[in-house]
Structures are given as structure tokens and as C-alpha cells.
């Protein structure tokens, strides 16, 4: 009888140790797989028509993306007093770039006149866009390894 009780206690103690080891392992992996928030702001919109579309990219070669088919995530936000803001949540650590579109007619695409957009556009890290300064992921991208806020300049042609 004493032998059975000792064996039972030993089994319970061993299983308890394994359960504690598994718990500490999952806690450690949660700490290393942190997710962050990225807040993106745009101001000085020429009017409050439509919405601002924010497209988030996370891979080289995805910008330019005229049809928004290569993006990682997309959000649309209202315009209040000539400005708009969104927050992308739960982003893993990495490199990201943002493209904004002042979508005045709310159709979800870049409308063009004679080759140039008729609505405002912008990219992170760009103050101007032109033939010699075309958007690309490597120039527009930035690191996210903490909660981050970025301001994007809207450009009208």
C-alpha cells in the first residue's frame, strides 16, 4: 500500500513538473513574438470629400502597386478637419511601407487625368514624387520593432 502511494505521488510530481515546463515555454514564446501597433497620420488634405485609403506593404517589390493587389493590409478612414488617421494593430516586427490615397470619389482606386493622379497620394519617407523620384519599397520602408507613429505627406499634382 505504501509502495502504491509513493508511486502515485511520484507520477503526480513528475506530471506537474512537465506542466510547469510547458507553461514557461509558452510564456517565453509569447514574449519573443511581440506584436506592435503602427499609427499613420495624414494632414493638409485639400478637402473633406471621400475617405483616405491607407495601404500597408511588408515586402520588397510591392511598390508601386496601382491596383492595390500586393498590399499586406488596407484600411479606409474618414476625413476630419482636413486630416485622417488609422492604426494597424498586431503587426509582427519587420519592415513596412505605407501608401495613402485621398480617395475623393470613394471608388478605391487611383483616378488619373493625363498620366498623373487626379487625387492626392503619398508614401512614407517621400516629400515629393516624380520621374526621378518614383516610389519603391526600399525607400518608403521603415522598421517596426515598437509601437510606431508615421506621418505621410499627401501630394497633389
pLDDT of residue 40: 98
- The set of long-range contacts for 108-117, using a CB threshold of 8 Å and a minimum separation of 24, is 108/53, 108/68, 109/67, 109/68, 110/66, 116/157, 117/157
Which pLDDT tens digit goes with each residue over 13-52?
444 444 444 444 444 444 446 899 999 999 999 999 999 9
Distance CA 131, CA 116 (A): 11
Which pLDDT tens digit goes with each residue over 96-151?
999 999 999 999 999 999 889 999 999 999 999 988 999 999 999 999 999 999 99
Parse the chain into domains and list their residue ranges. 1-33, 35-153
- Reference 102, options 150, 153, 38; nearest CA is 153
CB 56 within 8 Å of CB 65: no
| Count of CA atoms in the C-beta half-sphere (13 A) of 153 | 9
- The set of long-range contacts for 109-117, using a CB threshold of 8 Å and a minimum separation of 24, is 109/67, 109/68, 110/66, 116/157, 117/157
- Longest CA–CA span in the chain (Å) reads 93
CB 53 within 8 Å of CB 103: yes
Q: Which CATH class is domain 35-153?
A: mainly beta
40: which strand partners? 86, 150
Amino acid at each position: 500500500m505504501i509502495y502504491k502511494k509513493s508511486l502515485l505521488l511520484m507520477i503526480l510530481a513528475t506530471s506537474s513538473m512537465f506542466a510547469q515546463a510547458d507553461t514557461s515555454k509558452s510564456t517565453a514564446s509569447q514574449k519573443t513574438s511581440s506584436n506592435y501597433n503602427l499609427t499613420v497620420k495624414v494632414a493638409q488634405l485639400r478637402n473633406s470629400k471621400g475617405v483616405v485609403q491607407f495601404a500597408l506593404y511588408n515586402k520588397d517589390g510591392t511598390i508601386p502597386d496601382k491596383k492595390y493587389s500586393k498590399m499586406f493590409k488596407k484600411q479606409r478612414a474618414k476625413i476630419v478637419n482636413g486630416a485622417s488617421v488609422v492604426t494597424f494593430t498586431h503587426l509582427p516586427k519587420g519592415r513596412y511601407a505605407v501608401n495613402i490615397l485621398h480617395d475623393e470619389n470613394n471608388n478605391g482606386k487611383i483616378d488619373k487625368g493625363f498620366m498623373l493622379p487626379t487625387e492626392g497620394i503619398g508614401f512614407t519617407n517621400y516629400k515629393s514624387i516624380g520621374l526621378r523620384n518614383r516610389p519603391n519599397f526600399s525607400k518608403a520602408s521603415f522598421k517596426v520593432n515598437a509601437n510606431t507613429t508615421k506621418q505621410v505627406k499627401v501630394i497633389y499634382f
